[in-house]
Amino acid sequence: MTKQRNNEDMIQITKAIIAYLDEWRLSPEQMIEVLGLPEGTKPRHIQQYRNHDKAFPQTEEVMTRIEHISGIADALRTTFPFSQQMRHMWLFKPHRRFRKKRPIEVIFNEGIHGLMRVRVEVDCTYGWVDPVTGK
C-alpha cells in the first residue's frame, strides 16, 4: 500500500506528471489511459489537473503508474538532457527490444506492466538486481 500524501503534495505531483505527459504530447484521453484514472474521468477533467484545481486520486494503481511515469521521464531527461525532441522521439520510434513496437505503444497495450517494461529499458538502474542479495 502506498503512503497517503497531503493535498498540497499531490497537487505538486499532479503538476509534474501533467508536464511530463504534455512533453510526451499525449491527448487528454491518452493521459487518462496512461494514468489509469478511475472510470468516469472525462478528458475535460485533465484541465482541472493542469490548472492545479484538483490532484490525482491516490489509488494504488494511479500512484504506481505515477511512479513509473516519473521514472521514465527522469531517465529520458538523463539520457537526452538537452533535447526534448530526442526524448519524444525515443518514446515514439520503433524499438528493437520491444519487437519493433514503439515504447508508447507498449505502455498503452500493456498498462502498468508496459510502463514497467519501458522504465526498465530506459533506466538501467531500475531493473538492476544485485547478484549477491537478489534485491
Average pLDDT, the chain: 90
CA 54 to chain centre: 18
Instruction: Decide if pLDDT at 5 tops 80.
Output: yes
pLDDT of residue 53: 82
Give residue 132's pLDDT: 53
Q: Is the pLDDT of residue 30 over 90?
A: yes
- pLDDT per residue as tens digits for the range 43-88: 999 999 999 889 999 999 999 999 999 999 999 999 999 999 999 9
Residue 135 has pLDDT above 60, yes or no: no
C-alpha–C-alpha distance, residues 134 and 131, integer Å: 5
Reported as a single tens digit per residue, the pLDDT across 104-115 is 999 999 999 999
* H-only helix segments in the chain: 7-23, 28-35, 45-50, 60-79, 84-92, 103-122
Rounded CA separation 35/120 (Å): 18
119/116 Cα distance (integer angstroms):
5
Do 110 and 118 form a contact (C-beta atoms < 8 A)?
no
Task: Say if CB 31 and CB 46 are below 8 A apart.
Answer: yes
Instruction: Give how far Cα 41 sits from Cα of 5, 34, 74, 81, 106, Å.
Output: 21, 13, 27, 33, 22
| pLDDT value at 7 more than 90 | no
pLDDT > 70? residue 1: no
